[in-house]
């Protein structure tokens, strides 16, 4: 319990530091992932009714060597400025030496990205690195421009290379609860793919957002069509929700301003509340950027990679409760906006 509390303090400390260093837009790209779509008039759809879910005729690259040739050469050391920020916050991450097996995990994760992610990352991802003793899971950081293109570095906690996505998501979800005597437990069934696949997709979406201006900055005078459609009825601004539910307990989760861990005894009520919202996870409620990154990642996992995403709430002697947020009607109504991620050609800003 003390360890969990200390981790939460460290996550918060890092968040404040990075908000100061990178600004509000990029500061949100750290945390438990972790970890958006270009301006397309054709994808501005009516958000009042249910939108048709995107159908992809393209499959992820089957040969991991294709991703290896494109992206593995970008593995490098973590920039000094990023290490300094961690150390200034009282943390001491160290460089991780990659094994052949770990490189294969990374190559596979890149090969499973949607077409748009692969294309944009090829242009805008400057480098990636892996650290041991890193308090959060991943951090996406801007590292300047080259040839007029914004460039980014992603730092990953090396431990995720040895976790399945189910193990990692369960570990993350359990930080939303405080131990009690109720006997309730929470776990997530999300398949056996590597956690790296999930985290890379989430963080890669942040790179798309920053590179292409997918979700408009608050200072933008004119919102993009996608930004307007994605946030309508869901977000008032970057961190203020604009949705109504009969019991907004979900809005009190620890990723929200002023939020805190729930008691395990409240788990059934907490997830009933989540299912009344348009969000696919608690982490989606952190900001509109995290909302899109989570929605894209979970859509790709469940609809394209055909993996489960089930939240299991159980207690000895009681019926097991299963919650599937991606089948929630309010979430499904938003999925039609994601078709852009499965197109090779698009007309967007700042390609």
How far apart CA 316 and CA 184 sit, in angstroms, is 8
Beta strand 125-132 with 149-157 is: parallel
CA dist., res. 195 & res. 193, Å (int) = 7
Model pLDDT for residues 291-347, shown as the tens digit of each residue: 999 999 999 999 999 999 999 999 999 999 999 999 999 999 999 999 988 876 544
CA atoms within 13 A on the CB side of 98: 21
Give the contacts of 104 (CB within 8 A, at least 6 positions apart). Answer: 64
**What's the whole-number mean pLDDT along residues 82-96?**
94
Cβ(30)–Cβ(140) below 8 Å: yes
Is-cis flag, bond preceding 34, omega within 30?
yes
Query: Each residue of 14-42: pLDDT tens digit?
Result: 443 333 333 444 443 433 333 322 322 23
Can you tell me the mean pLDDT for 119-134? Answer: 96
User: How many Å apart are CA 112 and CA 132, to the nearest integer?
Assistant: 25
pLDDT tens column, 176-212: 999 999 999 999 999 999 999 999 999 999 999 999 8
Give the pair of three-digit tokens for residue 134: 């890193």
23: alpha, beta or left? (left if phi > 0; alpha if psi -120 to 50): left
Confidence of residue 216 (pLDDT cuts 50, 70, 90): confident
Name 321's bridge partners: 313
Is the pLDDT at 70 greater than 90, yes or no? no
Residue 57 clears pLDDT 50, i.e. is over it: no
What is the DSSP code string of 144-176?
EEETTEEEEEEEEEGGGGGSBHHHHHHHHHHTT
Tell me the pLDDT of the chain averaged across its residues: 82
Exposure class string for 243-254: b at 16+ Cβ within 10 A, else e: bebeeebbbbbb
Helices (H) and strands (E) in the chain, counts: 11, 9
Rounded-to-integer distance, Cα 73 and Cα 59, Å: 24
Residue 244 pLDDT level (bands cut at 50, 70, 90): confident
User: What is the arrangement of strands in the sheet containing 310-315, beginning at the earlier edge strand?
Assistant: 185-189, 310-315, 318-323
The angle formed by the CA atoms of residues 191, 275 and 321, to the nearest 5 degrees, is: 60
Q: Do 242 and 233 touch, CB atoms closer than 8 A?
A: yes
Q: Taking Cα atoms as reference points, which of 182, 170, 177 lies closest to residue 265?
A: 182
């Amino acid at each position: 319990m003390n360890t969990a509390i200390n981790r939460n303090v460290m996550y918060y400390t890092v968040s404040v530091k990075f908000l100061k260093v990178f600004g509000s837009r990029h500061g949100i790209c750290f945390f438990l992932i972790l970890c958006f779509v270009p301006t397309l008039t054709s994808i501005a759809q009516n958000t009042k009714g249910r939108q048709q879910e995107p159908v992809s005729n393209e499959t992820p690259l089957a040969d991991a060597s294709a991703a290896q040739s494109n992206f593995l050469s970008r593995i490098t050391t973590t920039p000094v400025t990023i290490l300094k920020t961690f150390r200034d916050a009282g943390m001491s991450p160290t460089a991780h030496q990659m094994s052949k097996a770990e490189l294969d995990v990374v190559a596979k994760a890149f090969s499973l990205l949607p077409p748009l992610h692969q294309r944009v990352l090829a242009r805008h991802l400057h480098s990636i690195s892996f650290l041991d003793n890193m308090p959060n899971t991943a951090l996406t950081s801007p590292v300047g421009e080259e040839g007029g293109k914004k460039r980014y570095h992603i730092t990953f906690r090396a431990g995720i290379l040895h976790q399945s996505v189910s193990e990692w998501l369960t570990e993350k979800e359990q930080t939303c609860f405080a131990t009690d005597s109720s006997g309730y437990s929470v776990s997530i069934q999300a398949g056996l793919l590597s956690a790296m696949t999930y985290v890379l997709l989430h963080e890669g979406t942040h790179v798309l957002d920053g590179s292409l201006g997918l979700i408009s900055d608050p200072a933008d005078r004119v919102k993009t069509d996608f930004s307007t459609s994605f946030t309508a009825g869901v977000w008032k601004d970057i961190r203020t929700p604009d949705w109504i539910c009969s019991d907004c307990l979900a809005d009190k989760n620890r990723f929200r301003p002023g939020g805190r861990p729930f008691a395990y005894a409240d788990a059934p009520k907490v997830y009933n509340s989540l299912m009344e919202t348009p969000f696919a996870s608690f982490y989606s409620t952190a900001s509109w950027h995290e909302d899109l990154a989570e929605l894209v990642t979970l859509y790709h996992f469940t609809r394209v990679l055909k993996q489960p995403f089930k939240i299991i709430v159980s207690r000895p002697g009681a019926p097991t409760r299963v919650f599937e947020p991606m089948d929630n009607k309010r979430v499904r109504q938003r999925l039609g906006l994601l078709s852009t991620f499965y197109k090779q050609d698009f007309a967007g800003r700042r390609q």
